[in-house]
C-alpha cells in the first residue's frame, strides 16, 4: 500500500511537472511533503519523496540536508554523511549541514573531522547554541574533558533549561575527578527536569561509588518512578541492595532487568553471584550456564562456576571449568592454585604439585611487572573475582566482532592473518591466498620450516607436537643459536601454547636482529592482539556515555577501552611502511581498527587490501559486516555477496539474515 501511494504521488507530480507554471510549485510541494514525513518519523517515505525533488532539482541543498537527516535516523550514517557533504558542496555557508555532518562523523568515531565541521558551523553562526552542545558531546566522547566543559558552559549561557547539558558537563567533571562540581551539575539537572530519570541515575551512581547507599537508593527509586522501564536504574539499585545485605531485593531487581533484556549477560552473572551468596546454588548454576552461552569466551564465567561446583562437591566439574579458564588464559595463576587444591582432594598429587609449581612461577613473573596494570590483577592471588560487576563492564568481545542473526547464531568476523604451523596435507587454501607475493614465498623459504603457513586458520598440530618443537627451539637458543629465524619460530610456538608474554618478547628479540622484516611485526601484532583479547575477557571495562537530547538523535560511545590495540596497530603501521604492497597487513590493521571502534579507518584499510588483492574474500566479508553494523546494509550485503562468490560459505547466512526482499 505504501508503494502504491508513493507511485500515485509520483505520477501526479510528474503530471504537474509537465504543466506550464507548476515547476516551482512542485519543488516546494516535494520539499514540504518530505519535511512532513520527517516530522512524523516516516524516514523511508521522506527519502523517497526527497529523491523525487532531487530528480527535479539536483542542486537543492535543502533536499540533500533533509535526506541526510532521514538517513541518520535510519542509522545509515555513511549515507547521511554523503548527503550532508552534498548539501555543503551546493551551499558552502550552510551552517546546519556542517553541524549535522559533524554529529554524524562523531557517531562514526571520526572525531577530528567532526570537530573541524563544528568549528566551521560556529564560525559561520557563533550565536547559535546548538553547535556548542554537539561539539561538547564530541569532546566528551573523545575524552577532551576540559574542552567539553567549556562548550557545555557556553551552551548553558544561552540555553539554561536543558537538563542534559548539565548532566554532560557533570560527567566531564567526573572524569576529571572533580566530584563536587559533578554533584552540582547533576543537582541542577534534576531541578531543571524532575521527570528525567537520567539525572537521578547519574547522581545515584556517583553516590554509590562513594558508598552513600541510602542516598543512591533514593535516587534510583526516583529514576524508576520517572520511568518504570529504565533498565539501568534497576541494575544499579540491585547492586546497592547487594552491598547493603538485602539479597532478596537485589535478586528482584536483577529479575526485572532480565525481563527487560533477556540476553543481558552481566545481569545473569551478577544474579548468579547473589544467588550463590544466599545458598541458591542450583539456580546460580543456571545463571552461570546462561552467561557461558551468551559470553563463551569469558574466563571469569568458568572460574566462578568452578567455585560453585566446588561448593556443591562436584570436583570433576570444577576441575573441568578451571581447566577451561586456563585454556582460555594460560597465565591465570588463581585458576592453577584452585585446581591444585581440588586435585589434592581427588588424590591426584602429581597434578596438584604441577599446578602449584606453575602458579608460583607465574605469580613471581607477575609481581616483577606490578608497574604494568595489565599484570597487576593476576599478581593478587587473594582476589576472589566474586564482586558484582558494574553496568559499565563489558563481559567479553566487542559489538563489532559478532553480529547475531534471528536464530541466535553468531556470525564472526574473519580473523587475523599470521604465520603459523600447520600440517602440509591438511591445510586448506582460501582463494585470497592465491594472491601471490614473492616476498612471502622468499620469507618462507628463508625460515625453512615445512609447517610454516600464512593463514587465518588455527594450527592443526597436536599440542604435544607443538610443545616438542618449542622445547627443541628453546634448546637451540640456549646453545647460542639466537639468529632471528629461530627466534621467529619460537615466537610462533610460544603463541600456540598461549605463552603470549614470552611470545611477544621473543618476536621483539627477532626484530632487534632483523628490524626491516615486515613479517616479524605482523606476527608480533597478532600475538599482542590475542593476549589483549584474553586479558580483556576478565578485566575489560567500557565507559558508557549516553546523550539523549541531541538535536538529531541520541549519540552513544561504548568503545573506550581499558585495554586497546594501539601497540598492535603500531606494529602494522611499521610493517606497512616496510611492505606497502602487502594486502594482509592492511586487512589485519582493519580488523584491529574495528575492534577499537574506529570503523571509518577499518573501512579504508579493508578497501586498500581489496585494491591490492581484488579476490580478497575475507576483506570483502569483514568490510560487509562493518557496513552492516553502520546500517549501510545494502553496500554491506554487496560486499558479503562478493565474499560468497570467492568462497566464504558463511556469507550466505549473513545474506539470508540481512537481504530483505522488496515489498
- pLDDT in the model for residue 288: 92
Count Cβ neighbours within 10 Å for each residue of 617-629 and write b for 16 or more, e otherwise.
Answer: bbbbbbbbbbbbb
Determine the Cα–Cα distance for residues 193 and 600; give it in Å rounded to an integer: 37
**Which residues on adjacent β-strands are paired with residue 542?**
561
> For residue 280, what is the DSSP state?
-
Q: 614 or 407, which is more confident?
A: 614
Is the pLDDT higher at 629 or at 402?
629
Contact (Cβ atoms closer than 8 angstroms) between residue 573 and residue 543: no
pLDDT range class, residue 243, cuts 50, 70, 90: very high
Distance CA 234, CA 228 (A): 9
Q: Cα 310 to chain center, whole Å?
A: 34
pLDDT at 397 over 60: no
**Average pLDDT of the segment spanning 441-456:** 89
d(CA 397, CA 253): 26
Q: Which three cell numbers stand for residue 467?
A: 610443545
Report, as an integer, the average pLDDT of 539-563. Answer: 32
The pLDDT value recorded for residue 364 is 79
- What average pLDDT score do residues 235-256 get? 94
Separation CA 519–CA 487 (nearest Å): 13
pLDDT band at 408 (very low <50, low <70, confident <90, very high): very low
Going by pLDDT thresholds of 50, 70 and 90, the confidence category of residue 399 is very low
Q: Using the predicted structure, report yes or no on whether residue 13 has a pLDDT greater than 50.
A: no
Cell of 224: 524508576
- For residues 40 and 24, the answer to whether their CB atoms sit within 8 Å is no
CA distances to 274, 535, 605 from 150, rounded to whole Å, are 43, 36, 35
Higher pLDDT, 74 or 148: 148
Enter the DSSP assignment of 453.
E
- Which three three-digit cell numbers place residue 279? 545458598
Average pLDDT, integer, range 620-648: 83
pTM to 2 decimal places: 0.56
pLDDT digits (tens, 9 = 90+) for 259-295: 988 888 888 999 999 999 999 999 999 999 998 888 7
Closest CA to 469 of 453, 444, 491: 491
**Residue 85: what pLDDT?**
92
Rg, Å, the chain Cα set: 28
157 or 367, greater pLDDT: 157
Kindly state the percentage of the chain with pLDDT values over 70. 81
Lookup: cell for 324: 577451561
State pLDDT tens for residues 459-517: 888 878 888 888 888 888 888 767 898 999 999 998 888 788 888 889 999 999 999 99
Helix axes 197-209, 179-192, angle to 10 degrees: 160
Domains and CATH numbers, the chain: 1-92 (1.25.40.10), 293-396 (1.25.40.10), 411-658 (1.25.40.10)
CA 355 to each of CA 300, 321, 358, 527: distance values in angstroms, whole numbers, following the listed order: 19, 15, 5, 25
Put residue 393 in one of left, alpha, beta given phi > 0 → left and psi -120 to 50 → alpha: beta
Q: Give the pLDDT of residue 654.
A: 77
Distances (CA, A) of 400 to 138, 555, 599: 21, 17, 9
Mean pLDDT taken over the chain: 80
Task: Report the DSSP beta bridge partners of residue 453.
Answer: 420
Residue 322: helix, strand or coil by DSSP?
Answer: helix
User: What average pLDDT does this structure show over 575-591?
Assistant: 95
- Output the pLDDT for position 130: 86
660 secondary structure, DSSP code:
P
Instruction: Report pLDDT digits (tens) over 109-168.
Output: 788 888 898 898 889 888 888 889 989 988 888 888 999 999 999 999 999 999 999 999
| Angle (deg, nearest 10), helices 61-73 and 43-56 | 160
Pairing relationship of beta strands 410-412 and 555-561 according to DSSP bridges: unpaired
Beta bridge partners of 420: 453
Note the pLDDT of residue 406: 33
Q: Which of 144-153, 441-450, 654-663 has the lowest mean pLDDT?
A: 654-663
Q: So what's the pLDDT on residue 10?
A: 39
Assign 207 a pLDDT band (cuts: 50, 70, 90): very high
All three cell numbers of 525, joined, read 601484532
Distance between CA 269 and CA 262 in Å, rounded? 13
558: Cβ contacts below 8 Å, ≥ 6 apart: 394, 399, 542, 544, 597
Identify the helix (H) or strand (E) that includes residue 40: none
With H, G, I as helix, E, B as strand and everything else as coil, classify residue 454: strand
d(CA 81, CA 76): 9
pLDDT band, residue 3 (cuts 50/70/90): very low
Selected residue with higher pLDDT from 77 and 223 = 223
Phi, psi of 588 (to 5 degrees): -60, -45
Angle at 531 between CA 502 and CA 352, to 5 degrees: 70
pLDDT computed for residue 26 by the predictor:
66
Closest-CA residue to 619 (of 595, 584, 645): 584
Amino acid at each position: 500500500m505504501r508503494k502504491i501511494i508513493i507511485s500515485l504521488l509520483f505520477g501526479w507530480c510528474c503530471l504537474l511537472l509537465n504543466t506550464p507554471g507548476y515547476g516551482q510549485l512542485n519543488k516546494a510541494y516535494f520539499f514540504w511533503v518530505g519535511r512532513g514525513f520527517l516530522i512524523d518519523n516516516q524516514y523511508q517515505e521522506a527519502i523517497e519523496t526527497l529523491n523525487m525533488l532531487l530528480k527535479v532539482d539536483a542542486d537543492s541543498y535543502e533536499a540533500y540536508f533533509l535526506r541526510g537527516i532521514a538517513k541518520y535516523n535510519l542509522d545509515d550514517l555513511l549515507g547521511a554523511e554523503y548527503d550532508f557533504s552534498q548539501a555543503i558542496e551546493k551551499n558552502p555557508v550552510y551552517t546546519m549541514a556542517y553541524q549535522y555532518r559533524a554529529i554524524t562523523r562523531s557517531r562514526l568515531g571520526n572525531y577530528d573531522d567532526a570537530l573541524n565541521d563544528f568549528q566551521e558551523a560556529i564560525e559561520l553562526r557563533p550565536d547559535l547554541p546548538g553547535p556548542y552542545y554537539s561539539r561538547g558531546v564530541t569532546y566528551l566522547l573523545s575524552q577532551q574533558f576540559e574542552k567539553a566543559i567549556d562548550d557545555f558552559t557556553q551552551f548553558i549561557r544561552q540555553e539554561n533549561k536543558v537538563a542534559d547539558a548539565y548532566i554532560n558537563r557533570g560527567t566531564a567533571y567526573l572524569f576529571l575527578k572533580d566530584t563536587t562540581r559533578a554533584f552540582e551539575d547533576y543537582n541542577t539537572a534534576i531541578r531543571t527536569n524532575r521527570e528525567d530519570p537520567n539525572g537521578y541515575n547519574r547522581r545515584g551512581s556517583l553516590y554509590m561509588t562513594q558508598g552513600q547507599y541510602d542516598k543512591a537508593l533514593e535516587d534510583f527509586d526516583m529514576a524508576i518512578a520517572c520511568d518504570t522501564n529504565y533498565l539501568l536504574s534497576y541494575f544499579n539499585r540491585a547492586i546497592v541492595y547487594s552491598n547493603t545485605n538485602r539479597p532478596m531485593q537485589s535478586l528482584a531487581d536483577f529479575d526485572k532487568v532480565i525481563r527487560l533484556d533477556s540476553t543481558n549477560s552481566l545481569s545473569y552473572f551478577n544474579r548468579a553471584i547473589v544467588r550463590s551468596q544466599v545458598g541458591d546454588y542450583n539456580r546460580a548454576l543456571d545463571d552461570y550456564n546462561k552467561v557461558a552461552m551468551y559470553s563463551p569466551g569469558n574466563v571469569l564465567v568458568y572460574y566462578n562456576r568452578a567455585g560453585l561446583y566446588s561448593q556443591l562437591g562436584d570436583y570433576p566439574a570444577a576441575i573441568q571449568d578451571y581447566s577451561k579458564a586456563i585454556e582460555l588464559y594460560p597465565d591465570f595463576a588463581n585458576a592453577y592454585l584452585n585446581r591444585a587444591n581440588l586435585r589434592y582432594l581427588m588424590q591426584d598429587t602429581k597434578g596438584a604439585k604441577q599446578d602449584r609449581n606453575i602458579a608460583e612461577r607465574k605469580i613471581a613473573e607477575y609481581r616483577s611487572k606490578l608497574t604494568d596494570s595489565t599484570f597487576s590483577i593476576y599478581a593478587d592471588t587473594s582476589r576472589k573475582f566474586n564482586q558484582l560487576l558494574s553496568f559499565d563492564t563489558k563481559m567479553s568481545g566487542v559489538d563489532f566482532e559478532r553480529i547475531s542473526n534471528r536464530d541466535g547464531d553468531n556470525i564472526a568476523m574473519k580473523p587475523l592473518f599470521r604465520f603459523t604451523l600447520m600440517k602440509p596435507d591438511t591445510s586448506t587454501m582460501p582463494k585470497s591466498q592465491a594472491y601471490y607475493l614473492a616476498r612471502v614465498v622468499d620469507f618462507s623459504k628463508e625460515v625453512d620450516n615445512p609447517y610454516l603457513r600464512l593463514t587465518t586458520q588455527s594450527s592443526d598440530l597436536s599440542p604435544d607436537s607443538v610443545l616438542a618443537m618449542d622445547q627443541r627451539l628453546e634448546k637451540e637458543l640456549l646453545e647460542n643459536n639466537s639468529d632471528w629465524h629461530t627466534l621467529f619460530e619460537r615466537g610462533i610456538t610460544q603463541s600456540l601454547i598461549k605463552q603470549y608474554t614470552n611470545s611477544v618478547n621473543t618476536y621483539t628479540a627477532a626484530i632487534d636482529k632483523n628490524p626491516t622484516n615486515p613479517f616479524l611485526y605482523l606476527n608480533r601484532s597478532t600475538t599482542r592482539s590475542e593476549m589483549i583479547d584474553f586479558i580483556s575477557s576478565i578485566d575489560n571495562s567500557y565507559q558508557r556515555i549516553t546523550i539523549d537530547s541531541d538535536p538529531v538523535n541520541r549519540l552513544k560511545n561504548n568503545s573506550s577501552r581499558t585495554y586497546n590495540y594501539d601497540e598492535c596497530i603500531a606494529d602494522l603501521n611499521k610493517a606497512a611502511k616496510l611492505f606497502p604492497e602487502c594486502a594482509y597487513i592492511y586487512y589485519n590493521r582493519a580488523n584491529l581498527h574495528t575492534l577499537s571502534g574506529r570503523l571509518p579507518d577499518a573501512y579504508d584499510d579493508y578497501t586498500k587490501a581489496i585494491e591490492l588483492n581484488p579476490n580478497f574474500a575475507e576483506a570483502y566479508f569483514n568490510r560487509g559486516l562493518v557496513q552492516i553494523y553502520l546500517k549501510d546494509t545494502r553496500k554491506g550485503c554487496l560486499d558479503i555477496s562478493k565474499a560468497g562468490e570467492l568462497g566464504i560459505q558463511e556469507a550466505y547466512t549473513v545474506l539470508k539474515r540481512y537481504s530483505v526482499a522488496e515489498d
